[in-house]
Structure 1
Amino acid sequence: MMKIPLQSKKNNKFTRKQLIILIVCITTGFIIGYSYKLTKNHEKINNSYIDQEESYREDLIDQQERNKELAEELNDLQNRLREYEKSFAENEVEYEHLIEEAEKLRLLLGIIPAQGGGIQVTLKDNEYNPNSTNPNEYIVHESHVLSVINELKISGAESIAINGQRLKSNSYIRCNGPVITIDGKQYPAPFVIEAVGDSKTLVSSLKIVGGVFDQLLSDNIVVTIEEKNLIQMPSINDEA
């Protein structure tokens, strides 16, 4: 009688045990691995929170330092402002004088409108004399206009305009035949020059013996000078 079947049954029972042990080992390993992974993830999260908290703490420290610097800067500016106010109070007369000088400078530059008493000087071509060999001797030229303007500036004119065109500090004037060009704009004769300032002083400076008025008459230019109670001029920024 053969015993082979008995040995096969014993071998099959042993294999089932091994399978159970294998399953238990795999399950245990999975549980251990999963637990380890959870632990690592938890540590990473904790580390991330710690790093973020540390970053916030450093930002807060930097901001506190910056606030301290700004507070010191503000305090310094306030001290300087108090010094300026104290200086202005001690030098009120000088301060008012500087304001007046600044206002005069703005008027001369033409950046603010001007108005007040002054004079009006009109230059016209004279009638041509057929017996003259040079017709240019009866025409208003650039030099005539410039001589009037320069004399007015020297005499304290606050602002000057020619045919309504207000002059700037760097205005250029050029004669071109029967017209005159002022800062690129042409104006025909007669040339009306207006100046805001003390009218008595301005007239006296023009009519001084041997001065501009006498020179214009000797050049056959028709000149009229009028005192005006009110002359108004726009700023150079308001002109078209």
Structure 2
Amino acid sequence: MKFKGKYILLSMVMLVLGYLIAFSYQLTNEGSKGSISAEKWNKEYESRQLLVEQEEKNLELGEELHKKQQSVQKLEENLKKDKQASSGMVEEIEELRMYVGEIGVKGEGVQITLEDSSYVPADENANNYIVHESHIFKVINELLISGASAVSINGQRISADSYIYCNGPVVTVDGNQFPAPFVISAIGDPDTMLAAFTISGGISDQLVYDNIVVKSEKKSEITMKPMLQGERAS
């Protein structure tokens, strides 16, 4: 019985010892698990911090990109305006060169022919029945006012500084003499120019009243060569 009691006591000691060992292992294992979880949490926190920092940098870069895009857009708009201005200047220069006769021009227009009267009464002054520079000036001014872009007299291109004067039956244009009839050609809208010229009480009627023979007609194409340097008025 003593041996059996010792056996029971030994069993209880072993049981308690096993329990203590198991409990210690469990505590150690849980502590180890807690340590790994904390490490993972730290890594996750660092990753989140890096992500936040990267998002902030992306936001800053996005704002900078937006500013750059706005600057590029402004530059493109300025370049477009400069290009349009340059194009407009080129067109204006070409138009001015056309007006002064430096370049040839072709287009539709009108042709006004002025002739001396074929009948002069015996008791009248013949000078009152011929074309004078004042008559030609009236026609040219009316054509220019109604939109003519180029004008010529008997093929002689005229410019803003051209001079015209009458010497008897002959009219001199920039040093070149032309006898009647005087053919004044103008490039532009033929309907507008012809309507302005033939309006009731207008230039055409005034010329007829001055005993001038007037003929006006539309032309589908009129060609004018550029003026040579020697042909321009000095």
TM-score of Structure 1 vs Structure 2, range by shorter chain:
0.5 to 0.7
Is 1:213 matched up with 2:204? yes
Instruction: After superposition, give the CA deviation of every residue in 1:173-220 in whole Å (9 maximum; x if it has no partner).
Output: 000011000111101100000011111111011112211111001111
Q: What corresponds to 1:223 in structure 2?
A: 214
Q: What corresponds to 1:181 in structure 2?
A: 172
Give, in whole Å, the separation in 2 of the partners of 1:84 and 1:206. 50
Give, in whole Å, the separation in 2 of the partners of 1:88 and 1:229. 40
Where 2:214 maps in the other structure, the secondary structure is strand
What is the identity, as a one-letter code, of the residue corresponding to 2:188? Answer: G
Bigger CA radius of gyration: 2
Give, in whole Å, the separation in 2 of the partners of 1:218 and 1:143. 14
Q: CA RMSD in A?
A: 2.3
Q: What corresponds to 1:105 in structure 2?
A: 96
CA, structure 1 residues 91+122, in 2 after alignment: closer, same or farther (shift >3 Å)?
same
CA, structure 1 residues 94+138, in 2 after alignment: closer, same or farther (shift >3 Å)?
same
Q: How far 1:153 sits from its partner (Å)?
A: 1.1
Q: How far 1:101 sits from its partner (Å)?
A: 2.7
Counterparts of 1:9-88 in structure 2, within 5 Å, are 87-88=78-79
Give, in whole Å, the separation in 2 of the partners of 1:110 and 1:199. 20
What is the identity, as a one-letter code, of the residue corresponding to 2:200? Answer: V
Give, in whole Å, the separation in 1 of the partners of 2:192 and 2:230. 28
Q: What corresponds to 2:69 in structure 1?
A: none
Give, in whole Å, the separation in 1 of the partners of 2:183 and 2:156. 10
Q: Name the TM-score, length of structure 2 as normaliser.
A: 0.62
Within the candidate set 126, 136, 161, 2:152 is matched to: 161
Q: How far 1:123 sits from its partner (Å)?
A: 0.2
Instruction: After superposition, give the CA deviation of every residue in 1:61-107 in whole Å (9 maximum; x if it has no partner).
Output: xxxxxxxxxxxxxxxxxxxxxx9986341355555444333222111
CA, structure 1 residues 192+138, in 2 after alignment: closer, same or farther (shift >3 Å)?
same
CA, structure 1 residues 210+237, in 2 after alignment: closer, same or farther (shift >3 Å)?
same
Q: What corresponds to 1:193 in structure 2?
A: 184
Q: How far 1:135 sits from its partner (Å)?
A: 1.6
CA, structure 1 residues 209+179, in 2 after alignment: closer, same or farther (shift >3 Å)?
same
The answer for unaligned runs of 5 or more in structure 1 is 1-82
Size of the aligned set, in residue pairs, is 158
Where 1:151 maps in the other structure, the secondary structure is helix
Within the candidate set 117, 120, 124, 2:111 is matched to: 120
CA, structure 1 residues 238+200, in 2 after alignment: closer, same or farther (shift >3 Å)?
farther
Instruction: After superposition, give the CA deviation of every residue in 1:98-142 in whole Å (9 maximum; x if it has no partner).
Output: 433322211111111010000110000112332442222211111
Counterparts of 1:1-12 in structure 2, within 5 Å, are none
What is the identity, as a one-letter code, of the residue corresponding to 2:157? Answer: R
Give, in whole Å, the separation in 2 of the partners of 1:172 and 1:200. 28
Q: How far 1:239 sits from its partner (Å)?
A: 8.2
Within the candidate set 193, 196, 201, 1:202 is matched to: 193
Where 1:111 maps in the other structure, the secondary structure is coil
